[in-house]
Amino acid sequence: MGLLVDYDEPQMMAATLTMPYTLTTGPAAGTFLAELANNRIVGTRIVSTGRVIVPPEDYPGGMSDVETEFVEVPQTGAVTTFTRTVNGVVALIRLDGADTDLLHRVVGDTAGLAAGDRVAASWHTGSVDELASPFLQLAGFAATADGTTGEVTPLSGPAEAIAELPYSMKLDYEHSYGPYYGRMFDELASARRIVGSKCPKCLNVLVPARGNCDACFVPTGQLMDVADTGTILGFSVIHLEFLGQKRKPPYVYAEINLDGTATRLIHNVGGFDITKAEELLDIGSRVRAVWKDVSPGSGTLDDIEYFEPIDLPSSGA
């Protein structure tokens, strides 16, 4: 192994975390969303107290033993409080006759907006299919000079509740590699070599490179060239498809101990008939990296296409 002495500037990796799923709305929220397509705002009224909750809840206040009914709530109300954002004004709005606030945006001229101002619902005028969510059929609330206070009424002819909604959570972020990961990924992209860090106490070489030894908890300091050959310590043959896969099954996922290191690198094993993996591979099988024919690389472990078995019998090719 050769000692590397220089550090590069820390790198940043732009990444996106996404999680698509199906949202089960429940009867109350499902009815609320369905009625927005009819330009009606629905709430829940607790029969015993007359308390009106918007948006409606199946179990108001966590109580499962109270009798409730759906009601149609006026489309006018007053601003309780608000905040200005780069995407506009978001406010808590107390609709006439309601006992809770509805969170929504304020549209139109908001320059002189103040708490207590009267507002009225503003509806989307295009097709519901254009919207990312049925909730946006209610486009927002706009200031109104009409001081008439509306009344809560029983909901007549309720629409069929929307039972499920396709949904997705998305988070864009930047991940700082730091000096150790940053240098390691630099070397993968530019020189097709693997870099580890060496502990000055136990002398273990750690891959991926890191600032402190996992066993001794002391700073590592030194970066070392690491061989791209190693030994399989464990592997799985993946047959099932799941969200986020980068490869189509079947494929082999393995823990590989690179020569001269004290850690395990998780990567794919390929370059042979995967259907014979359980016959041809074993704990202790020797492998070497197969690098992608791209220059410069991506600066990730994906610059290694996979690890291929060494001295594989010809029948397994």
Asked whether residue 183 falls in the same domain as residue 137, the answer is no
Tell whether 137 and 48 lie within a shared domain.
yes
Based on the domain organization, do 138 and 36 belong to the same domain? Answer: yes
Reported pTM: 0.59
Residue 140 lies in a domain: yes
Report yes or no on 172 lying in a domain.
Answer: no
Q: Which residue segment(s) compose the domain that 290 sits in?
A: 3-14+179-316
Clarify whether residues 150 and 268 are in a common domain.
Answer: no
Whether 20 is covered by a domain: the verdict is no
**141 lies in a domain?**
yes
Claim to verify: residue 30 and residue 75 sit in the same structural domain:
yes
* Same domain? 153 vs 254: no
Out of 124-128, 131-135, 257-261, 311-315, which region has the weakest mean confidence (pLDDT)?
Answer: 311-315
- Residue pointed to by tokens 């291929």: 308
134 with 243, same domain? Answer: no
Structure tokens at 305: 């296409």
- Residue 168 is assigned to a structural domain of this protein: no
Please answer whether residues 115 and 80 qualify as being in contact, where contact means their C-beta atoms are separated by less than 8 angstroms. yes
- Residues 87-129 pLDDT 10s: 999 999 999 999 999 999 999 999 999 999 999 999 998 877 7
213 & 149 share domain? no
Please tell me whether residues 94 and 124 are part of one structural domain. Answer: yes
The confidence score (pLDDT) of residue 313 equals 63
Q: What is the pLDDT of residues 26-47, one digit of tens each?
A: 999 999 999 999 999 999 999 9
Check if the beta carbon of residue 67 is closer than 8 Å to that of residue 47.
yes
Last residue within a domain, chosen from 130, 162, 194: 162
Look at residue 170 and tell me if it is in a domain: no
Instruction: Indicate the number of domains in the chain.
Output: 2
DSSP 219-280: B--EEEEE-SEEEEEEEEEE-S--TT-SSPSSEEEEEEEETT-SS-EEEEE-SS-GGGHHHH
pLDDT for res 163: 92
Sort 190 into a burial class: Cβ within 10 Å, 0-12 / 13-18 / 19+.
middle
- The CATH number given to whatever domain includes residue 281 is 2.40.50.840
Residue 173 within a domain: no
Exposure class string for 223-242: b at 16+ Cβ within 10 A, else e: bbbbebebbbeebebbeeee
